């Protein structure tokens, strides 16, 4: 996302983050999902 757009959204109260933060995944859970995705390709 462009920095300008990010700043505008945050100024309006939006929260910008990663999927890991949104889903509240631990580092281990995120690594497991990443492994599953790579194996599926």
What pLDDT, on the 0 to 100 scale, is given for residue 1? 86
Q: What would the pLDDT profile of 12-39 be if each residue is shown by its tens digit?
A: 999 999 999 999 999 999 999 999 999 9
The domain total for the chain is 1
Which residue range(s) make up the domain with 8? 3-40
Got the DSSP string for 1-41?
--HHHHHHHHHTT-----HHHHHT--HHHHHHHHHHHHHH-
Is the pLDDT at 4 greater than 90? The verdict is: yes
Higher pLDDT, 1 or 9: 9
């Amino acid at each position: 996302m462009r920095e300008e757009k990010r700043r505008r959204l945050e100024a309006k109260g939006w929260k910008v983050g990663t999927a890991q933060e949104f889903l509240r995944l631990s580092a281990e859970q995120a690594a497991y999902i990443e492994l599953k995705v790579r194996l599926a390709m």
